[in-house]
């Protein structure tokens, strides 16, 4: 099923210079970027994005962290893109993440786990709408798609 999902490269990955490595993994998998934006997330947007965690002990530190530096916000498209991206990212706790995943290869702590991705079609729609306007989402065909999909 062709779908779109939201993925964010977090400030720790940006500060560590891992953006290129992470992007190349998604491209090599065959996913198609349809929106990309480098931004320092304003506090209000961060609070809306992580709203389901409001009131939890880690909420304020999470907001401080995600607004502390630039993030690369993206929308990727592909066959079962949500599941594919989550599989590539690895488990939230890098100690539990499989080798070959972003977190399994490059992260050590849950609080600095490099990347965020939507966990369901509903959260993908909500997160894409939070970070991108309709005119920022690009629809296009790639010639390589005939080699990716039957």
What pLDDT is attached to residue 1? Answer: 65
Number of domains in the chain: 1
Mean pLDDT for the stretch of residues 36-56: 96
Distance of CA 99 to the CA centre of its chain: 19
Instruction: State pLDDT tens for residues 30-43.
Output: 999 999 999 999 99
Q: The pTM is what?
A: 0.94
Task: Please report, rounded to a whole number, the percentage of residues in the chain having pLDDT higher than 90.
Answer: 94
Contact 145, 137 (CB under 8 A): no
> Which residue in the block uniquely carries the two structure tokens 């939230």?
92
Looking at residue 66, which CATH number applies to its domain?
A: 3.30.70.141
- Cα atoms in the 13 Å half-sphere on the side-chain side of 118: 25
- Residues annotated catalytic, as ranges: 116
- Report the C-alpha gap between 108 and 68 in whole angstroms: 19
129 exposure class (CB count in 10 Å sphere: 0-12, 13-18, 19+): exposed
150 confidence band (pLDDT: 50, 70, 90) = confident
Instruction: State pLDDT tens for residues 106-144.
Output: 999 999 999 999 999 999 999 999 999 999 999 999 999
Contact 90, 126 (CB under 8 A): no
Its domain, for residue 47, covers 2-147
pLDDT of 59 above 80: yes
């Amino acid at each position: 099923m062709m779908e779109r999902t939201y993925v964010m490269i977090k400030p720790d990955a940006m500060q560590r210079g891992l953006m290129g490595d992470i992007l190349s993994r998604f491209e090599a998998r065959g996913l198609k970027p349809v929106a990309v934006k480098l931004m320092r997330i304003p506090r209000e947007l961060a609070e809306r994005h992580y709203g389901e965690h409001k009131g939890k002990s880690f909420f304020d530190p999470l907001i401080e962290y995600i607004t502390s530096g630039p993030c690369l916000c993206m929308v990727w498209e592909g066959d079962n893109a949500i599941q594919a991206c989550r599989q590539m990212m690895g488990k939230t706790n890098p100690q539990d993440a499989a080798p070959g995943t972003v977190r399994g290869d490059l992260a050590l702590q849950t609080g600095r786990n490099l990347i965020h991705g939507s966990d369901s079609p509903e959260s993908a729609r909500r997160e894409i709408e939070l970070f991108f306007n309709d005119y920022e989402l690009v629809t296009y065909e790639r010639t390589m798609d005939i080699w990716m999909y039957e």
